[in-house]
């Protein structure tokens, strides 16, 4: 049995082309490529936001807070 030969893969490709057609496969490929590109852009944007937050916290920014004393009874 083993692995598939090149002829097996060519027959599978031919069947897929016959079932879906080249136009539909082209559209699916471009949709998939667009989704991957958008995902990569979103990851880059998120990494940039995290880097900006870490730079701000390391830059010695002062946090303004109000402290109230507790009265001892």
Residue 15 counted as domain residue: no
Q: Domain range for residue 50?
A: 21-56
Digitized pLDDT (tens) for each residue of the chain, 73 residues in all: 567 899 999 999 999 889 988 888 889 889 999 999 999 999 999 888 887 777 666 556 666 778 777 776 5
| Predicted pLDDT of residue 64 | 74
**At 19, is the secondary structure helix, strand, or coil?**
helix
Name the domain count of the chain.
1
Residue 52 counted as domain residue: yes
| Predicted pLDDT of residue 59 | 57
Residue 6 counted as domain residue: no
Residue 66 counted as domain residue: no
CB 34, CB 26: distance < 8 Å: no
């Amino acid at each position: 049995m083993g692995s598939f030969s090149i002829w097996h893969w060519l027959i599978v490709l031919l069947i897929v082309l016959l079932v879906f057609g080249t136009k539909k496969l082209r559209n699916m490929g471009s949709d998939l490529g667009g989704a991957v590109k958008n995902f990569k852009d979103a990851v880059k944007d998120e990494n940039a936001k995290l880097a900006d937050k870490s730079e701000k916290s390391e830059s010695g920014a002062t946090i303004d807070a109000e402290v109230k004393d507790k009265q001892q009874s």
